[in-house]
Each structure stands twice: as structure tokens, then as C-alpha cells.
Amino acid sequence: MAPQLRRPAGGAVVQDENLSRRRALLAAQAAADCRGQQIVILDMREVSDLFDYFVIASGTSGRQLRAMADEIDRVLTQQTSAIRLGIEGEADSRWILIDYGDVIVHLFEPEARAYYALEDLWSDAPTVPFEPIPPDGLTLRMPGDFPAEGS
């Protein structure tokens, strides 16, 4: 049986919802690989007919936001043949929006993220569990994870 095709408002044909989810998770991981912070994926399918997922991440500078945007675009293009339909905010770099049709990526400086509060605006959208994979697949350990000396 052939997969169902649908066309989101942005015009990109998406073969199935698993591809949209994979793109969102890959975008989130690419942001994490560039030291993005407070990464959230919102499942927009129940609250909007325009797109499937929002990926929201923060960075500490315009340079970092641009690096995240470039890496996300590289990863999605190479791994899912995604076509970027548009990008806004690169010049100002306080908020960069990247449109892939099924997935919309929002990259913010902390102040802009707090001001626009997209997670509050779209609070009806469930979050998608996401735990970044550390470089080389290593498990990050916190100081409290190690046994005390003499134990």
C-alpha cells in the first residue's frame, strides 16, 4: 500500500507524518549540536492545519543562531531531502524562522523568546519528548552521578 501524500500549506509534499516527526527531531538535534538551549518540539497537528511541528530553541548570540540555522538546513537537506521554503530574521538574528512546510523552526535569543512566548501562545499543542544525543553518543554525567570518595 502506497503511503498517503498530503500537501501542507507551505506547498511541500510530505509522504507521511513520520517524516515530519523525523525532521523535527533532526532539527532539534542539530540545534543541540550547535549548543542550542531550551529546545522544545511542539506537535502542532491537532491545533493547526498549516504545519505539523514547531521546533523552538534559544541561543546566546546572533552568530550562534545563524550557525544553528545553517546546521539545521544542512542536516534536513542531506538526511530528508527537505526543501527550505523560506527563512526570516537572519539580518537581525534575534529571532530566525525557518519554514520547511511541515516543520517550522524558531531560533531565539532569550529575550525575544520570552517576549514572544510561543510555548504559551500554542499551549494546547503537546510537546514531543526530546533528549539531545551528546557528541559521539557519550552519556553526559553530572557531578552528583559519581560515587563519593571512599565509598
The pLDDT tens digits for 11-38 are 444 446 799 999 999 999 999 999 999 9
Cell of 77: 537537506
- Sorted by where each begins, the domain ranges of the chain are 18-128
Nine-digit cell at 82?
527537505
pLDDT digits (tens, 9 = 90+) for 122-144: 999 999 999 998 876 555 454 55
pLDDT tens digit sequence for 1-15? 333 334 444 444 444
Provide the percentage of residues in the chain whose pLDDT is more than 70.
78
pLDDT score for 2 = 34
CATH topology of domain 18-128: Beta Polymerase; domain 2 (3.30.460)
**Pairs from 88-94 (Cβ < 8 Å, separation ≥ 24):** 90/66, 92/62, 93/61, 93/62, 93/63, 93/65, 93/66, 94/62, 94/65
Amino acid making up residue 70: D
Whole-number average pLDDT of the chain: 85
